[in-house]
Amino acid sequence: MKCLVDLFFSCYNPFRIVILRAKKGRIVRMKARDKVKYIIKKYSHAWVLLYVFIYMPWFIYLERHVTDQYYVIHSKLDDYIPFVEYFIVPYLLWFFFIAIVLAYFFFTDKRGFYKLTAFLFTGMTVFLVICTIFPNGLDLRPDTFARDNIFVDLVKHLYQTDTPTNVLPSIHVFNSLGAMIAIARSKKLAKYKGLRIALYAFALLIIMSTVFLKQHSIIDVIAAFAMACVIYPLVYGVEAKKAAKVAHQPT
């Protein structure tokens, strides 16, 4: 993680912004108004994040209204997956993981940021639509726990705050896949192989945590992978085709 933080600040450090311009043969600091204009122009792609005002009200509505009448998602494979409370750590760190990946691309790769958010927000919208027309939930959570430790306490708190509804497909899984794809396609991160492998491994732990914590059925995981396979060519496919055509053009 320290490596990722160092890489992020090597590309952008918001605490060391010095905006200069030439004036009569000498360099002077820009006025505060010019700084604001410069920052607004440079980070104009922040408008994409307004999607949160669409997603959160819709999701909260579903959480409050899908409470009893819903289709229970279950597979026989779920019964063979044990409950492992230690997976609460990567499950909760998912929020920071996605935020850090989004921030990295926001400040260092505008095109990559647009691609990443297009992938994530399309899938999240599909998820909302599915849960609206097909209310769904789980009945996998254990009633008792074999152990008593801080990890179990965190799981109990999670169960109290997060309803077992609106689970298909798993957004934890889908967004982790989206982050992995963006990282894999990043040219800047290509030279940091060790870091990329570590991030892939962490994303895999997040995906595994969804079933080992009984937060999702294996069906939710498969659905998230399927949705990613459908959305990927819509977001990245055109760019890949153009790159292939250019590569095959005679020189």
What's the rounded Cα separation, in Å, for the pair 195 and 150?
A: 29
83 and 66 part of one domain? yes
Model pLDDT for residues 201-251, shown as the tens digit of each residue: 999 999 999 999 999 999 999 999 999 999 999 999 876 555 455 444 555
Q: Into how many domains does the chain fold?
A: 2
Model pLDDT for residues 102-159, shown as the tens digit of each residue: 999 999 999 999 999 999 999 999 999 999 999 999 999 999 999 999 999 999 999 9
Model pLDDT for residues 47-69, shown as the tens digit of each residue: 999 999 999 999 999 999 998 88
Stated pTM of the model: 0.84
* Six-digit token string for 163: 């309803």
Upper half-sphere CA count for residue 72 (Cβ side, 13 Å): 9
pLDDT at 33 over 80: no
36 and 80 part of one domain? no
Print the domain residue range for 237. Answer: 44-248
Confidence of residue 17 (pLDDT cuts 50, 70, 90): very low
What's the rounded Cα separation, in Å, for the pair 140 and 168?
A: 14
89 and 198 part of one domain? yes
84 and 199 part of one domain? yes
What's the rounded Cα separation, in Å, for the pair 209 and 173?
A: 9
